[in-house]
Amino acid sequence: MAAALLHDVGHAPFSHATECVFGNHEERALGILNGPTSAIHKVLREQDKTLPSKVAALIAKKPTAPEWQKSLISSQLDVDRLDYIRRDSLCSGAEYGNFDWFRILHTMELNERKTKGRPGVVFVTWPNKSKFALEEYVFSRFYMYQSVYFHHTTRGFECLLRKILERARDLGRKNKQFAKSVLPGITLLWGGSQDAEAFLNLTDHTLMAQIMIWQKDKDQTLSDLASRFLMRKGLSWKEAWGNVTHMEMHGRISKVEDYLRSKGLDPKYYFMEDKPEVAPYRPYMSASASEEQSSVNSIILFDATWARSSQTGFVEISQVPDLQRIRAITDDSPAVVRYYFPKEHGERVKKLLK
């Protein structure tokens, strides 16, 4: 329970959107859990001196942590996803995130899977009677990915946020006066204090307040990016087509960069490539052919009556009778790449990318 509550304590503002700037959230979470001066560490130690290290081991997915516990914290169907898919659906206004979470939680089972020559491993599984609730979850996750997490507007503003932080980071490394002028926690951009207190001061509200201040900054690029973000001036976008070779795309991008420079815009900050690489927000995919299926990398059902067909009674969800339609949304299709650029130059840039 402690690991479920604390596994994301290391997230920076706006979650995964800023992770490439502020660092890996799991590493920060481990630092907070193991740090002797951390308030969280102290609370856990009051319960049990070994609790901070046990929680850290579970979040870090160490071999010493039981497989079934790791799958509850981070897997294809974990307590985190059961929470944020429904919460994101509510907060975004999308209705896709509604699924029978109650049935999924209350029919969860633990079953030992024995393999010849290996010790048994305890899996988190579900009975056959829960298959439609699980199917509903998989489709909810897919639709939220398509309509919310990878929506072109969502991804565009996440790209813009990262560019604001990259510009500020570049300025702070060159200008000590600029680096000293920021709000508490923002100094982490250029390797400032790494202690937990400084990081915990860095909240969504802190960052939004800082971006509002940057609207009036002397640096024209930072000021413009901040204004675009806050005033929703937005960006234009175009998808990259799979039939274009890497060399052809490189040539087109070079032309776009030259065009933006001719307009006084640095392409480092005004031309953005976006790939949906954040694993938690990807649609469900079972383990690849080279992997051994487990309750971490796949959603597994168990029914003793299936033992004849599956040899063990354990069946991955897309192989369950009546659920084969899931395969249509679980194929390992190539990720769509999008390019973002200032809206006022949208028509010209789109032509150059054709």
CATH number of the domain at 218, please: 1.20.1250.30
Give dist(CA 127, CA 304) in Å, integer.
Answer: 9
Contact (Cβ atoms closer than 8 angstroms) between residue 297 and residue 75: yes
pLDDT of residue 262: 97
199, part of any domain: yes
190, part of any domain: yes
310, part of any domain: no
How wide is the angle at C-alpha 83 spanned by C-alphas 316 and 136, nearest 5°? 40
Q: How many domains does the chain have?
A: 2
Residues 57 and 194 in one domain: no
* CA atoms within 13 A of residue 153's CA, in its CB half-sphere: 6
- Secondary structure of the chain in the HEC alphabet? CHHHHHCCCCCCCCHHHHHHHHCCHHHHHHHHHHCCCCHHHHHHHHHCCCHHHHHHHHHCCCCCCCHHHHHHHCCCCCHHHHHHHHHHHHHHCCCCCCCCHHHHHHCCEEEEECCCCCCCEEEEEECHHHHHHHHHHHHHHHHHHHHHHCCHHHHHHHHHHHHHHHHHHHHHHHCHHHHHCCCCCHHHHHCCCCCHHHHHCCCHHHHHHHHHHHCCCCCHHHHHHHHHHHCCCCEEEEECCCCCCHHHHHHHHHHHHHHHHHCCCCHHHHCEEECCCCHHHCCCCCCCCCCCCCCCCCCEEECHHHHHHHCCCEEEHHHCCCCHHHHHHHCCCCCCCEEEEEHHHHHHHHHHHC
Digit-coded pLDDT (tens) for 46-101:
999 999 999 999 999 898 888 899 999 999 999 999 999 999 999 999 989 999 99
* CA atoms within 13 A of residue 77's CA, in its CB half-sphere: 27
Give dist(CA 125, CA 109) in Å, integer.
Answer: 5
> Is the predicted pLDDT of residue 206 greater than 70, yes or no?
yes
Pick the closest to residue 191 from 21, 8, 13, 18 (CA basis).
Answer: 21
User: If you average pLDDT over residues 94-113, what whole number do you get?
Assistant: 94
Residues 60 and 196 in one domain: no
The more confident residue out of 99 and 285 is: 99
Give dist(CA 222, CA 174) in Å, integer.
Answer: 14
User: If you average pLDDT over residues 30-44, what whole number do you get?
Assistant: 91
* pTM of the model as a whole: 0.88
106, part of any domain: no
User: If you average pLDDT over residues 94-117, what whole number do you get?
Assistant: 90
Residues 58 and 188 in one domain: no
Pick the closest to residue 172 from 225, 219, 226 (CA basis).
Answer: 219
Which of 47, 65, 83 is where one domain is finished?
65
pLDDT of residue 334: 61
* CA atoms within 13 A of residue 93's CA, in its CB half-sphere: 0
Average pLDDT, the chain: 89
Which of 65, 89, 118 is where one domain is finished?
65
Pairing of strands 121-125, 109-113: antiparallel
Amino acid at 253: I
108, part of any domain: no
Digit-coded pLDDT (tens) for 241-259:
767 777 888 999 999 999 9
Give dist(CA 175, CA 167) in Å, integer.
Answer: 12
Residue range(s) defining the domain that contains residue 345: 152-275+336-353
> Is the predicted pLDDT of residue 312 greater than 80, yes or no?
no
Residues 203 and 347 in one domain: yes
How wide is the angle at C-alpha 108 spanned by C-alphas 6 and 57, nearest 5°? 30
User: If you average pLDDT over residues 192-201, what whole number do you get?
Assistant: 69
Residues 50 and 181 in one domain: no
Residues 56 and 160 in one domain: no
Digit-coded pLDDT (tens) for 328-353:
887 656 668 899 999 999 999 999 99
Digit-coded pLDDT (tens) for 145-162:
989 999 999 999 999 999
Which of 13, 44, 65 is where one domain is finished?
65
> Is the predicted pLDDT of residue 289 greater than 60, yes or no?
no
Residues 340 and 227 in one domain: yes
Residues 52 and 171 in one domain: no
Give dist(CA 253, CA 272) in Å, integer.
Answer: 10
Look up tokens 């953005």; give the residue. 272
Q: What is the dihedral of CA 16, 220, 272, 185, to 10 degrees?
A: -10
Band of residue 234 on the pLDDT scale cut at 50, 70, 90: confident
296, part of any domain: no
Maximum separation of any 2 CA atoms in the chain, in Å: 72
283, part of any domain: no
210, part of any domain: yes
Band of residue 354 on the pLDDT scale cut at 50, 70, 90: confident
The more confident residue out of 281 and 157 is: 157
